[in-house]
């Protein structure tokens, strides 16, 4: 087994961390002009807007990463400039008729939906992956701009973070996949600005189909807020194969 220092060094190379976040990833390395977009900011590292529950769970799971059974998944707004071009090219070749209607000018403003909010206002989350157990746990702190019923999360926001979690579980197992079906049972409303745990499990793979389920629970496990099952379909590479699994497991800064 690797010593802690060696594991950390390897983790840093792979974009997977077990130790304290590097200053550059926290955005401390240089002053930013207000209009600059920080594409290389890893949103899955602690930020001042994280509450104590989110921070405590981050520390707990980071500790579990030390023996290599869990890995923390980095999260950039874009996979990397080069990789996102390759990814777009693959998707556009796959859906050529849809690509014809996409506004190319607007495309330059595109960003990952869950990372498009001001820090602390929307989706704050970090995911941890256990390969042996085929699980991904997402620690999620939703912000005030995700309100639906007064004081509670919008069901669409809950669906979004569920899709992101089960989707990531499908990606690490199947590469490029798309959500074909997402079935959600809302059992109890989630208090706005609370931190919850999303536990997802890859249930089975049948050919191109990946079945992933999840539960959204309070951090003490006492309240089951939401349950979901999903079906993802692996896209069959027609032209050029793009390795999305590699890109999310070993991300490069943009």
Ligand X SMILES: CCCCC/C=C\C/C=C\C/C=C\C/C=C\CCCC(=O)SCCNC(=O)CCNC(=O)[C@H](O)C(C)(C)COP(=O)(O)OP(=O)(O)OC[C@H]1O[C@@H](n2cnc3c(N)ncnc32)[C@H](O)[C@@H]1OP(=O)(O)O
Q: Which is nearer to ligand X, 7 or 248 (CB)?
A: 248
Binding mask 178-217 for ligand X (x = CB under 6 A): xxxx--------------------------xx--------
Q: Which of 42, 77, 124, 163 binds ligand X (CB under 6 A)?
A: 163
Whether the Cβ atoms of residue 65 and residue 59 lie closer than 8 Å to each other: no
Q: Which of 230, 90, 99, 92 is nearest to 168 (CA)?
A: 230
**Taking CB under 6 A as the rule, does residue 93 contact ligand X?**
no
Q: Which is nearer to ligand X, 65 or 247 (CB)?
A: 247
Residue 220 known to be catalytic: no
CA angle 132, 136, 138 (to 5 degrees): 155
Q: Which is nearer to ligand X, 8 or 142 (CB)?
A: 142
Whether the Cβ atoms of residue 90 and residue 240 lie closer than 8 Å to each other: yes
β-strands 123-130, 195-206 pairing: unpaired
Q: Which is nearer to ligand X, 7 or 177 (CB)?
A: 177
**Taking CB under 6 A as the rule, does residue 233 contact ligand X?**
yes
Q: How many CB atoms lie within 10 A of CB 153?
A: 28
Rounded CA-CA distance 170/137 in Å is 13
**Taking CB under 6 A as the rule, does residue 245 contact ligand X?**
no
For ligand X (CB under 6 A), the number of binding residues is 17
Beta-carbon contacts of 100 under 8 Å, excluding residues fewer than 6 positions away, are none
Q: Choose the catalytic residue: 40, 42, 119, 163.
A: 163
List interacting residues with ligand X (CB under 6 A).
79, 163-164, 167-168, 171, 177-181, 208-209, 231, 233, 235, 248
List, by residue number, the catalytic residues. 163
């Amino acid at each position: 087994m690797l010593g802690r220092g060696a594991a950390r060094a390897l983790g840093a190379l792979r974009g997977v961390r077990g130790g304290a976040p590097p200053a550059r990833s926290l955005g401390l390395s240089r002053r930013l002009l207000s209009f600059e977009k920080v594409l290389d900011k890893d949103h899955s590292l602690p930020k001042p807007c994280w509450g104590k529950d989110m921070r405590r769970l981050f520390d707990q799971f980071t500790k579990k990463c030390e023996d290599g059974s869990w890995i923390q998944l980095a999260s950039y707004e874009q996979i990397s400039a080069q990789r996102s071009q390759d990814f777009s090219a693959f998707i556009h070749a796959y859906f050529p008729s849809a690509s014809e209607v996409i506004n190319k000018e607007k495309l330059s403003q595109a960003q990952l939906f869950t990372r498009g909010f001001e820090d602390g206002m929307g989706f704050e989350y970090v995911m941890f992956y256990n390969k042996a157990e085929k699980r991904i746990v997402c620690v999620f702190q939703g912000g005030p701009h995700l309100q639906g019923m007064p004081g509670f999360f919008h069901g669409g926001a809950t669906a979004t973070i569920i899709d992101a979690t089960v989707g990531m579980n499908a990606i690490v197992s199947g590469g490029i996949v798309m959500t074909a079906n997402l079935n959600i049972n809302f059992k109890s409303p989630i208090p706005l600005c609370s931190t919850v745990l999303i536990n997802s499990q890859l249930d089975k793979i049948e050919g191109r189909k990946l079945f992933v389920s999840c539960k959204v629970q309070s951090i003490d496990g006492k309240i089951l807020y939401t349950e979901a099952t999903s079906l993802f379909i692996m896209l069959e590479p027609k032209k050029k194969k793009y390795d999305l699994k590699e890109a999310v497991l070993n991300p490069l800064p943009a």
